[in-house]
Amino acid sequence: QITLKESGPALVKPTQTLTLTCTFSGFSLTTYGAGVGWIRQPPGKALEWLALVFWSDDKRYSPSLKNRLTITKDTSKNQVVLTMTNMDPVDTATYYCAHRRGDSSTGGHFNYWGQGTLVTVSS
Amino acid sequence: QSVVTQPPSVSGAPGQTITISCTGSSSNFGANYGVHWYQQLPGTAPKVVMYGNDIRPSGVTDRFFGSKSGTSASLVITGLQAEDEADYYCQTYDIRLRGWVFGGGTKLTVL
């Protein structure tokens, strides 16, 4: 049974760096094809994919945010960490991590999601 | 503006059939990437209700049907029930963006 859970600060100040951790169980990020992604959702708005890391350590980023994002994995701890620099109030959102199901390094869908963590950016 | 577009809202009476559309382009659906659909109830994480265009995950009601043709896709819900009221998102992969993309979401209201 796959589970994921996000953790991190609920409040960050503008210009600060956000660090979120996704702790998962039920699968290994050393298994061929495995991937964990981050998706966010501002209040009342749509889902937005941010970043994804594969078993191979291949990393993908949303083109619009890639200059601010870094995704890393720690397979010994079953964790994936997302950092986002220079936070702004428009980055206020619920941040989800999710397990990607797919057969290659493209395509696929997110079949298991964490509960999400609300991050508010405010001074 | 999202790379894949959905109507902001659809509605239907209990028992009716509704269709939620999702329009893509040559760099996603047209490049043979599949469409996947998520249902999001208020205050909860999205849940996949259709993947690979037309595959229902275990446990999802057989009143949900998915399809894709060319650069368009649809989620059809038959026998509409109050519990179907939710936000629905389509998702695919875009080869030009080299990443995963979501539609803007469609709010389904059961009248």
Chain segment B83-99, per-residue pLDDT in tens: 999 999 999 999 999 99
Residues 6+ apart with CB under 8 A from A76: none
Task: Over range A36-58, report the average pLDDT.
Answer: 97
Chain segment A57-102, per-residue pLDDT in tens: 999 999 999 999 999 999 999 999 999 999 999 999 999 999 998 8
Q: What angle do CA B106, A50, A80 make, to 5 degrees?
A: 125
Residue A107's pLDDT band, with cuts at 50, 70 and 90, is: confident
Q: Does B47 touch chain A (CB under 8 A)?
A: yes
pLDDT value of position A104: 74
Q: Which residues pair with A93 in a beta bridge?
A: A119
The label of the residue with tokens 């980055």 reads A91
* Whole-Å CA distances, A71 to A19, A24, A38, A87: 10, 15, 9, 16
Is A113's CB within 8 Å of B46's CB? Answer: yes
Is the pLDDT score of A23 beyond 80? yes
Those residues of chain B that have pLDDT short of 70 are none
| Beta strands in B18-94, from DSSP E residues, in sequence order | 18-23, 36-40, 47-50, 64-69, 72-77, 86-94
Is the pLDDT score of A15 beyond 90? yes
Nearest to B81 by CA among B36, B22, B37, B17: B17
| Structural tokens at position A25 | 């169980």
Burial of residue A36 (CB within 10 Å: 0-12, 13-18, 19+) is buried
Gap between the Cα atoms of A57 and B47, Å rounded: 26
Beta pairing, strands B106-110 & B9-12:
parallel
Question: What mean pLDDT, rounded, does chain A reach?
Answer: 96
> Which residue in B53, B75, B100, B106 has the most chain A C-beta atoms within 10 A of its own C-beta, making it the best mutation to test that interface?
B100
pLDDT over 90, % of chain A: 91
Residues in chain B with CB shorter than 8 Å from the CB of A111 are 48, 51, 57
Q: Which of B52, B101, B105 sits opposite A49 (nearest CB)?
A: B101
